[in-house]
Amino acid sequence: MASSPSPSLGFSAPRAAPPFLPGAASSQVNAEEGRQEADGENSLPPRSLPETSASGPQQNTHSEHATIAAVPAELERLQDDWFARFDSPETEATYRFVFGEFVDWCATVDVDPLTARRGDIDRYRRWLRNPHRARGVSSRVTVAKKLSVLSSFYNYVIEETDGLLARSPVRKVDRPKVANISHREGLTDVEARAFLRASLADPEPMHAALAHLLLSTGMRVSEACTANIGALGRDGDSRIITVERKGGKKARLALTPACCAALDGYLAGRQVSPDAPLLATARGRLSRSEAYRIVDRLATVAGAGRKVGPHTLRHTAATLAIKAGAPLWRVQEMLGHADLRTTMRYFHAVDSLNESAVHVLADVLKQEEPDQ
């Protein structure tokens, strides 16, 4: 049975915008990004804010989000102090989403997050894998990441409070084992070239600029969307873009001639300052959810025949570079991985079948039999 919420930390007074919801423009993401399984990046999307219409906000009718929980003062203080530890806005946005989703789930099953037990976390884990969820089944990688976020919160509470929690309810929860290989399907080289051609044929020049940035540099969609025009520059004869990586680190990426041409075509008609967004729509800075829709539509036009998102392009950039013979450490540098083992996921994805023992066995079996 689920534990009952304490009187001081009850959930009886829902409010419209709990503090764990990130800002709208920088945090709305599509369903595809919510299932990112590669490179350990911030791939868990913040929830979309309630839609509005002429008659006012539309209520979410999905049972999993039937209630947006009010956050009691103690929990609100703890989560805000915990969020303040993160230097990266993207990391903070991801953790805010995951923890907010958990608090919402707790409200629907009458569990107080600060008195949750291991059994409650087990039920939450099973809920994430429920095929009847409105968001669909969370991948094993996503479940592991979400449990890691909850573990971080509870460990923080144990460290920073005087006896509020004796132990973390996540501590002994079984977490999905994740293979050290990326199973995501990227584009082939033929499909990638068709995708870029489709972007150049699109009447909106910004779409070609986005497509070339993502596919030719392998940058994260968040890095493209947060870049300003002042990020473009030169290093000798090379044109570059400076992006902000996870953890606030800066990295300079070389731009291909084709990418430069797409950017020049897009920026030619704009009169903007260096602090203006590099990629913008009529409403302002391009959001990640808008970027996903653009990428998916271009892929459809190019004949990909499946869902394609910004991270698919990042995967494609990595695997095509590896197949073309780029040193693994160069691919690591391009992708901004802190650990080479993360980049190795792409190498294994490319190389595992090519080097399979099945091929060696086939060579043995096809040898001619000796003369009798």
Active site residues: 220, 246, 311, 314, 337, 346
Residue 253: partners with Cβ closer than 8 Å, 6 or more residues away? 217, 219, 240, 241, 242, 243, 334
Cα(48)–Cα(60) distance, integer angstroms:
11
Whether 121 and 170 have beta carbons less than 8 Å apart is answered as: yes
Q: Which residues make Cβ contacts (< 8 Å) with residue 4, sequence separation at least 6?
A: 110, 112
Calculate the CA dihedral of residues 6, 151, 31, 133 and round it to 10 degrees.
Answer: -50
Is 122 in contact with 173 (CB distance < 8 Å)?
yes
- The one-letter amino acid at 26: S
SS3 280: strand
Contact between residue 182 and residue 315 where contact means Cβ atoms under 8 Å apart = yes
The one-character DSSP state at 60 is P
253 — phi, psi (to 5°)?
-115, 135
Q: Which residue has the tokens 């001081």?
A: 8
